[in-house]
Structure 1
Amino acid sequence: MPRSRPRALPFTALLALGVAAPNAQARERVDLLLRDVTVVDVVDGRLLPDRDIAVRDGRILAIEAHRTRPGYRAATTVDGNDRYVIPGLWDMHVHFGGGDALIEENANLLPLYVAHGITAVRDAAGDLSASVFQWRDDVAAGTRLGPRIFTSGPKIEGIGSIWPGDQEVADDAGIDAALDRLQAWNVDFVKITDNALSPPLFMHALAKAKARGMTTSAHIPMVVPVLEASAAGLGSIEHIAYAWKAGAPDEAGLSAKVASGALTAAQAWDTVQASFDPAGALPAYRRLAAHGTAVTPTLNGSRVVAYLDRDDHKRDSYLQYIGPGLQATYAWRVERAGKDDAAAIARRHARYERSAAILPLLQQAGVTVLAGTDAGFLNSFNYPGIGLHDELALFVHHGLTPLQALQAATVNGARFLKQDAENGSVAAGKRANLVLLDANPLQDIAATRRIRAVVLEGRVYERAALDAMLEQARIAVSRQRDVAAPPH
């Protein structure tokens, strides 16, 4: 049964979308022509059927009404046969790490992102910053296959952080020196976390980064009210549980009780869970939106760990693409979860479900939602590439529309990183980072998995090339396993 087609937009509307007139630049030379596709407008949620997309020098030259005879001389032509084109996907929370011995295994993850339609990633810190800086430059120069990398470099933490690779600071001067180094490395944002950093230093880091015009991202200490951090200029909250606390009744009083020792952090979370009221939380989330603080929920990673009692993931087919060293880093979360008794398992199930349930509230309040996976080392069975599609499925499962989920993985990320003038949507003049899908993602978000081709900076990789990337990753992992295997 043929699908119904939306009414064609008038010529004036096409101009507003940056779409060229049908006869403009006819027979002009282009590098790539995608013919007879339906463009998904992720900004407004409209479908633009029967379009040809002309690409030259890595950018979209024009989007025109489809014609039987091509209007351009193209070096490469892909017949879309009315398939759907979306912007390249953005994974806004990934990690590279595990120590120098795993540099190669981490580098081998980059093509996995491309093979799954992900053309940009936001690296949220690890212990391989020097390598990540080099990969960022190599990808930008076109000498390495991978998504465009935006990175925080090493994150800011207190003395004695449990995380390797951090910049550990003891005082205000240490914050200033850390920010100096990050600016010298030309990082794309600043990551601040709560493992060992004192609340005063956390707030000082936010203030100093804001004064320098640097975008921030954070895990918020339990003793710091979320709305205070947001008002201080926090750019994004990583992991939805930290945002959940903002909606608790008397969040400031709750934080004060933790600071005074009247409540432990675990007791505070129990209080949040028991007292949370969606209607009361909505005004607080509106304040987050008013301050411009985004939220990266990272639902998939939390879900995997929460339900390890039901699925140990030992038979996941995707493990064939993950190196043995990286797989070994998964063990610590698995071992910790394995120590939980029935009551602890029930608590982690409930915490995941109740925190994930605020996602539509955040959307309703106007908070910018960023799709990120937390994939990489340490985070068990949370896979680079396919994990973003799992994340989008969870967004819809927990109450977002397919369009809202798709926006979280495209235009929202580009806007957050101030890259939306050139990225995040399909329009003339923008970078040619595109995904050709077999089905309509506005009807079913699972369509993002049905990838026919990926265009990365103007170069097209059709299905056979994407499958070859996956096969090369599998072969590399197989060889690494052979090397790591003990002799008989």
Structure 2
Amino acid sequence: MRLLPALLMLALLAITPLAAQADGEPATLFANLTLVNGDASPPQPGMAILVRGERIEAVGPVGQVQAAGAKVVDMKGAFVTPGLINTHVHLATPPMRRYAEAMLRRDLYGGITAERDMADDLRQVADLARAARVGEIPGPDIYYAALFAGPEFFEDPRTQAVTAGETPGKTPWMRAVDADTDLRQAVAEAKGTGATAIKIYADLSAERVAAITAEAHRQGLKVWAHAAVFPASPAEVLAAGVDGVSHVCMLAYQVSDKMPLAYHRRPNVQEERLAAGDDPTMAGLFETMKAKDQVLDATLWVYEELARMSAADPSRPKPYCSAPLAARLTNQAYRADVIITVGTDGFSPGTSPWPALQDEMQYLQDTAGLKPLDVLKAATLNGAKAVGREAEMGTITPGKLANLVFLTADPSQDVRAFRTVRLTVKRGVLFWRKDYRPVSKAETKDAE
């Protein structure tokens, strides 16, 4: 008798057309808006977007996009963009659940619908990703990496914090790699965590970087790397075929007298060698990146933050790279047509109403010289490419996920418009900015 309901359901599905099943999903029509898409195309006024379930069903001029029974949301005067993507966050170093959930909530209500976690305690990150995906907590979708590095790196106290209860370097998400490592097994175990990618971090030779990259790709994972892995140089990292690199200033180690041998024993970038404008060595790196479609996660926010910390406390060690040099190198990459994304590698203070991603977008516009529409592309379509989900996200296109941000100001003129978020839609679910609950002191207490 227990089989009867299941059999009846199967029978109903067998005779119900798929189109009719789709039509049964809730539909929302957003009307009277200006579309500013993620492909850097000119804004289109007088548009409408039909969302059914978690996907975009139709996009077109008002009056031409209609659906019987759809809930109509009049967005007169609003500008709409694809959901933003932060390509560099750390949600669990160390794991702090309340703080992570608070950051995710602020990110979502600030227009971010997806982000890339660049190695953490994946026991917590995997659960956060699941909770955000199924709607248990408000937050962007999370795509995350397992970290591979040389044995020397695992003396870093951060690796101990993210492997509590286990041995740093001997977990699927924090793996020490040497000549004896079974890469096939190590990558398979990393994949078993639900990771989208392997992050190649530090203290590995060019040969080892290439071997990890080849095996990860063979098993269907992306490879995200530091732009210099030490002793592997930026040129060697790029030659290995990684899908993208992080931290634009690390590329500058290519002009060093001698490539540092280890991450924790590296000197500062020799900035004087890059003082005369566009450097031909850097131009060669950017040419390679363009040819290979390798993504640059510039993280200008990091260099600006290091500069602020240094100014506040002159006794601190000088940052390994200045914010102006980071901006100049990013501008050179931009002019070389490298794919640039928007990543922060950190969070703005809990007292801030907006996520750090909006600072990064502003730096890309104001200091690195990207046009506003190209900053938007970096934060949407390019971010989707970085996580291998451009078929699902990054532009407002029928069939893609209904990840949308509605603004009261025009982002094609100035990316500061993203501080006027009115509504975020993630997978068809509406998150009105007026309903946002700011980060509380209790939620940030553990991070202080």
Q: Please report the TM-score for the alignment, with normalisation by the length of structure 2.
A: 0.81
Tell me, in whole angstroms, the C-alpha distance in 2 between the residues paired with 1:303 and 1:372.
Answer: 13
2:80 alignment counterpart: 85
- Offset at 1:199? 5.1
Q: Write out aligned runs for 1:17-28 (5 A).
A: none
- Select 1:478's aligned residue among 436, 442, 445: 442
- Offset at 1:301? 1.9
Q: Which amino acid aligns with 1:266?
A: P
- Select 1:362's aligned residue among 320, 333, 352: 333
1:462 and 2:438 are equivalent in the alignment: no
Q: Which moved more, 1:388-397 or 1:425-434?
A: 425-434
Secondary structure of 1:375's partner? coil
1:300 alignment counterpart: 301
2:118 alignment counterpart: 124
Q: Which amino acid aligns with 1:287?
A: T
Secondary structure of 1:429's partner? coil
1:47 and 2:47 are equivalent in the alignment: no
2:267 alignment counterpart: 266
- Offset at 1:179? 1.1
Tell me, in whole angstroms, the C-alpha distance in 2 between the residues paired with 1:350 and 1:437.
Answer: 35
Q: Which amino acid aligns with 1:339?
A: S
RMSD over aligned Cα atoms: 3.2
Tell me, in whole angstroms, the C-alpha distance in 2 between the residues paired with 1:373 and 1:439.
Answer: 23
1:395 alignment counterpart: 364
- Report Cα offsets for 1:457-484 as digits up to 9, x if no partner: 111122322x3x32xx32xx33775x99
Tell me, in whole angstroms, the C-alpha distance in 2 between the residues paired with 1:60 and 1:296.
Answer: 28
2:58 alignment counterpart: 62
CA distance change for structure 1 residues 273 and 282 in 2, over 3 Å: closer, same or farther? closer
CA distance change for structure 1 residues 115 and 155 in 2, over 3 Å: closer, same or farther? farther
Contact 2:391 2:400 in 1 (8 A): yes
2:412 alignment counterpart: 442
Q: Which amino acid aligns with 1:412?
A: N
Tell me, in whole angstroms, the C-alpha distance in 1 between the residues paired with 2:378 and 2:246.
Answer: 14
CA distance change for structure 1 residues 349 and 255 in 2, over 3 Å: closer, same or farther? closer
Q: Which moved more, 1:196-205 or 1:438-447?
A: 196-205
- Report Cα offsets for 1:207-240 as digits up to 9, x if no partner: 3323434211112234323122112111111111
1:99 alignment counterpart: 94
Tell me, in whole angstroms, the C-alpha distance in 1 between the residues paired with 2:189 and 2:115.
Answer: 22
CA distance change for structure 1 residues 383 and 123 in 2, over 3 Å: closer, same or farther? farther
Tell me, in whole angstroms, the C-alpha distance in 1 between the residues paired with 2:389 and 2:185.
Answer: 27
CA distance change for structure 1 residues 274 and 439 in 2, over 3 Å: closer, same or farther? closer
Tell me, in whole angstroms, the C-alpha distance in 1 between the residues paired with 2:49 and 2:79.
Answer: 12
1:351 alignment counterpart: 322
2:217 alignment counterpart: 210
- Report Cα offsets for 1:20-77 as digits up to 9, x if no partner: xxxxxxx99852121100111221422111112111111111123224x994345643
1:452 and 2:416 are equivalent in the alignment: no
Q: Write out aligned runs for 1:150-229 (5 A).
A: 150-159=143-152, 160-162=154-156, 163-164=158-159, 165=162, 166-194=174-202, 196-198=203-205, 200-219=207-226, 220-229=228-237
CA distance change for structure 1 residues 28 and 63 in 2, over 3 Å: closer, same or farther? farther
Q: Which amino acid aligns with 2:355?
A: I
1:137 and 2:137 are equivalent in the alignment: no
- Select 1:339's aligned residue among 285, 300, 315: 315
Contact 2:147 2:200 in 1 (8 A): no
Q: Which amino acid aligns with 2:136?
A: T
Tell me, in whole angstroms, the C-alpha distance in 1 between the residues paired with 2:269 and 2:47.
Answer: 54
Q: Among all aligned residue pairs of Structure 1 and Structure 2, give the percentage whose two residues are the same amino acid.
A: 24
Q: Please report the TM-score for the alignment, with normalisation by the length of structure 1.
A: 0.75
Contact 1:273 1:351 in 2 (8 A): no
CA distance change for structure 1 residues 198 and 382 in 2, over 3 Å: closer, same or farther? farther
Q: Which runs of 5+ in 1 are unaligned?
A: 1-26, 313-336
Secondary structure of 1:223's partner? coil
Secondary structure of 2:43's partner? strand
2:10 alignment counterpart: none
Report how many aligned residue pairs link the two structures: 407
Tell me, in whole angstroms, the C-alpha distance in 2 between the residues paired with 1:177 and 1:116.
Answer: 40
1:409 and 2:379 are equivalent in the alignment: yes
Secondary structure of 2:129's partner? helix
CA distance change for structure 1 residues 34 and 176 in 2, over 3 Å: closer, same or farther? same
Contact 2:119 2:147 in 1 (8 A): yes
Contact 2:86 2:112 in 1 (8 A): yes
Contact 2:268 2:320 in 1 (8 A): no
Secondary structure of 2:412's partner? coil
CA distance change for structure 1 residues 176 and 460 in 2, over 3 Å: closer, same or farther? same
